[in-house]
A and B are shown apart, each in its own frame.
Chain A
Amino acid sequence: MKQSKLICDYSHLASFMLRTALAVPFLFVAIDATLQPEAWVGFIPFFLRNLFPETLLLGAHAVFDFILAVWLLSGWKIKYAAAFSALNLAAIIIVNLTALDIIFRDVGLLLAAIALGVLQFKK
């Protein structure tokens, strides 16, 4: 009984750490992409930039990242927040795969998002 309570507590702590680990970079991107758009526009593929204005794409992504960060920190319906985080990160990795020396951190974040989702389903 005592051991199962302990595992449950560790699960909550792990969930909190994973949520924070994902929310911090999402918040950073949302803020920095607004302050220094030229540093982030290079991650958006040219085919998208030829369809929509760069400022619109960057702004939309910044808002999306901000909402994801707040959602993750809120603790509400976390499995969906984890799923959206994983999809977001997977998309970034796929379109920038040849720049792996820059986006290698995103691979770790993607796995963190998947781990967060797995933790929720376990409950």
Chain B
Amino acid sequence: MRKKLIAGWKRAFGLHFPGHNLRVFPDDIFFVSYPKSGNTWVRFLVANLVYPEKNPDFSNIDRLLPDPEGMSKRDLEGAPRPRILKSHLSFDPRFPKVLYVVRDPRDVVLSSYHFDIKRRAIPEGYPLQEFVSRFVRGELAGLNPRYGSWHDNVASWYYARRNDSRFLLVAYESLQSQALEEMRRIATFLGVDGNGERLTFAIEQSSARRMRELEKKQGHLWNSTRETQLDKPFVRAAKSGGWKSELPQASVAEIESHWGELMRDLSYELSTRDLVPAGVGR
């Protein structure tokens, strides 16, 4: 009872994390993605683009681009506007303007796997194939059921908003292969000055090498890496296509047979196209 009263007290005074029940303002901009889709990288890119004077790093990124699931209602409502918020939530019609970052699920699952080992959600040496099956069912240890499966999260946003001018879809892969062009699109969408110098600065400040250095210095301070195995990096390979060498063939086939349609719609080439049997249930 005492615990409940404290929770009620916190709610009444806005000290709880609102998460899904966030109060949304009409000028809010949301940066949304499924977990392990390059979220932190894009957070750095956007923070360095919009707030270069704040020297974004792991110590202040949670305040510059706050997550409604990690900041109190009161602080969120007191944050300077327009706010840029970060979220992993699936489709929410109240989010007015949404930058959605999508990543190849075959790489997402690898990244999740390593991250879950880092934070001890699964033991070292946990069978990868087993992990992929759970990922496909949307049952990841630390992530589910808050965010649903990769498919459901991406599909709910993509199909609800794809033709909407308030929605910008950016692929992690093209952000890597043509950072400057994609950053220009993002700048235009966010309504910030996107001259070449500013874009280049933001990209350099958010390079994998610089983020690795920052992680070494600040990893023990940041919410997402604190109390995890610090010898395992959060900023890992920072590349795309790692699945081709790391993911068992059977796992690739499993992902593609369940989510092939959506992947094809997002222009992710399938490697087992002929193996996809018609009528397989998700």
Question: Are these two chains actual partners, yes or no?
Answer: no
Interface, chain A (partner B; CB < 8 A): none
